[in-house]
Structure 1
Amino acid sequence: MSTTDFYELAIRCLTNEGTDHDWKELEKFLQKREYRQLYQKLASSFPSEEKNSPQYNLERSLNRLRSGISLDEKRVPTRKKGRIKVLLRGLVAASVAAVIALGTVKYHSGKEDIQSKSEKVAWLKKSAPAGQQVRVLLSDGTQVILNGNSQLRYASNYASQSVRKVFLSGEAFFTVKHNDKKEFEVVTGHVVTRDLGTRFNVEAYAEDSIITVALVDGAIEVSSPVARHLQLKPHQKLTYHASDNSQEVNSFNVAELTGWKDQLLIFHNKPLPVVLEKLSRHYGKPIVFHDSALNQIVLTTQFKQKSLDQVLEVLSYAVGVKFIDKGDSILAVKNNSDRKRNEN
């Protein structure tokens, strides 16, 4: 594959339009230093969340360019097709190079502006809307999967910093590209997780008073107000409680805790309110209840690639709860007919 192929892959992934196959192919490119450097330059030219920008729409423009040349190609004798294909690849490469040049000039100009005022660095943001997941490939090859209602923030010069630091609000799964000379840190409120070469999950939603850090494999070091530089072993989870400034370390089930990234939801002896909260975040629609009797329901179940309607249908039958769609939310109520049947 050529450099032009690399640019097209990178653009699709940076605009969240890349397929799983695209991500795998891009990861192969990033094994080489020169492509990691190109990716870093390209990433810095994409302003966060500016979907109407020329950069964001570049892939659509390239598609139109390819489409237009394909039409012209049909009208050209066969002996000239090879020349047109070469021209197409040149135009694509030139278009991408122009965007990089514009982005780099814009970035450097902005950086000088900012530094002259307050010595601040520009920040990039990636967000996952409610009910969706977003894959982020950082310029050093680190992969991040953001869960719904989550945001990742990092400096535009992230890869060149002495400590590669990202800030997370929500939940994310990290596969870190380890670098002995540059540490990788995830900052979530009072808790800082430092990578020592690993895959791990962090959950830290702003509305929750609990932060969890779970190590799948490798090694991480976690610092909180309770303890500094605490090293976790694989399959260990640290839970920090901000309400009373306490924490504990326990073992965990990997599939249950990280299955969300593979559309797998597993609940083992979980209270129904906990299950409903997880479902609300996963599907992006609030599920509320007012009946305190629902607090007493505990269940064990799992769902693999099911729609919200399918999940609620199973729960309704299993625990005797009726779910009423209110438009912007779903109300859960105890099924009275089920209650009367049990009393009889």
Structure 2
Amino acid sequence: MQQPEKDKAKLTELFLSGQISRDEFEAFLEKFSDDSPEINDTLENHFGEILEDYHRDDSKSRKISLYPSWLAVAASVILVLGFGFWMVRDQISSPYITFQTSYGEQSSYTLEDSSTITLNAGSELSYVPFGKQDERKVSFKGEAYFQIAKDSIKPFLIQSNALNIRVVGTAFNVEAYPDEDFFRVAVSEGTVKVWFGEDEGAFHEYLTKGQSILFDKANGTYHLEEAKPVLWKEQVLVFDNTPFDQVIRKLERWYGLDLEVVDPELKALKLNGQFVNKDIHEMIRAIAYLVNKDTVNNKHLIKINPMPMK
């Protein structure tokens, strides 16, 4: 049985006495979020007193604060942000969770809704815990394979710059590296809704199993195509008429190395092929063979450098 909702007077008493719990503090913020500026100014002054009380020190002894440390942190956030209560509540109770992979690394993560995300190298996914939100919303950049747990009441929304993807429960691959000139979404199972930009109603496409969409960032055009197998999860590098500058960026992310193209003729080429579990030296020899170059003196084609420290 739920307890009756505490009224403003009771919550205010708890707050002023320092006896308020985290849950009660959230309710307190909600109740006062629409109140007059005069009331908010009074409460803001009290937050200042909390901080002064918590940090007060003298030469003889340290005063023990009546207020819990988390409330002092909340007070500092409020004084910085002003009385934007909803922002404060999110900062206190809903911090972002971030998963990321470095160059040369792949990793899988399970979210709180049992969805599984496998990140390719140089990728990042962040989100506020889903909780009572209407959507399971995440921000993303890089490449990842999403296996989304089905929930028809709470759709899953992925936002990556101008790319937006909404699903209920499905499996699909997303390529959305900031340094590439394209977005690509390929569906393995179920149905995926895709749109670009802020206006969902102006344009959207529904993709089903076996379909893929490729969006050109430069000219704002897109086309649908057949989805190809997602092989990078099996440690297979795939190039499909790929421009050589894109090949180099992909290899740098894959191996965690800085690659310098020495032979200028390579820059005009496009590459086709699949490469399984090759080290970088084997990879360069394979590329040299495919483009009819000397496979012995690889240093005259591509120079391998350590990845610069960020």
Fold shared by both chains (TM-score > 0.5): yes
Code of the aligned partner of 1:300: N
CA separation of 1:172 and 1:295: change in aligned 2, threshold 3 A: same
- Match of residue 148 from structure 1: 121
Question: In 1, Cα distance between the equivalents of 2:144 and 2:283?
Answer: 23
Shift in Å at residue 312 of structure 1? 1.8
8 Å CA contact retained: 2:244, 2:266: yes
Question: In 1, Cα distance between the equivalents of 2:74 and 2:168?
Answer: 31
Shift in Å at residue 329 of structure 1? 6.0
Shift in Å at residue 272 of structure 1? 3.5
How far does the alpha carbon of each residue in 1:178-221 deviate from its partner, in whole angstroms, 9 at most, with x for none?
10110001101111100132111111112223211111111110
- Match of residue 279 from structure 1: 251
TM-score by length of 1: 0.58
Question: In 1, Cα distance between the equivalents of 2:254 and 2:69?
Answer: 37
How far does the alpha carbon of each residue in 1:26-81 deviate from its partner, in whole angstroms, 9 at most, with x for none?
xxxxxxxxxxxxxxxxxxxxxxxxxxxxxxxxxxxxxxxxxxxxxxxxxxxxxxxx
Code of the aligned partner of 1:307: D
Residue from 276, 290, 297 that aligns with 1:318: 290
- Match of residue 327 from structure 1: 305
Matched-pair identity in %? 26
Greater C-alpha radius of gyration: 2
1:192 aligns with 2:170: no
1:249 aligns with 2:195: no
TM-score by length of 2: 0.63
- Match of residue 139 from structure 1: 112
- Match of residue 89 from structure 1: none
The within-5 A match list for 1:63-212 is 114=77, 117=81, 118=84, 119-120=86-87, 121=90, 122-155=95-128, 157-212=129-184
Q: Which runs of 5+ in 2 are unaligned?
A: 1-67
Aligned length: 222
Indicate the SS of the match to 1:261.
helix
How far does the alpha carbon of each residue in 1:137-174 deviate from its partner, in whole angstroms, 9 at most, with x for none?
1011010011111111100x224321000000111110
Question: In 2, Cα distance between the equivalents of 1:134 and 1:142?
Answer: 14
Question: In 2, Cα distance between the equivalents of 1:106 and 1:247?
Answer: 52
Give me the CA root mean square deviation: 2.8
Indicate the SS of the match to 1:306.
coil
CA separation of 1:115 and 1:234: change in aligned 2, threshold 3 A: farther
- Match of residue 211 from structure 2: 236
Q: Which runs of 5+ in 1 are unaligned?
A: 1-104, 331-344
Shift in Å at residue 106 of structure 1? 8.8
8 Å CA contact retained: 2:260, 2:304: no
8 Å CA contact retained: 1:266, 1:301: yes
Question: In 2, Cα distance between the equivalents of 1:165 and 1:108?
Answer: 28
Shift in Å at residue 233 of structure 1? 1.8
8 Å CA contact retained: 1:132, 1:148: yes
8 Å CA contact retained: 2:215, 2:222: yes
Indicate the SS of the match to 1:144.
strand
Question: In 2, Cα distance between the equivalents of 1:329 and 1:174?
Answer: 28
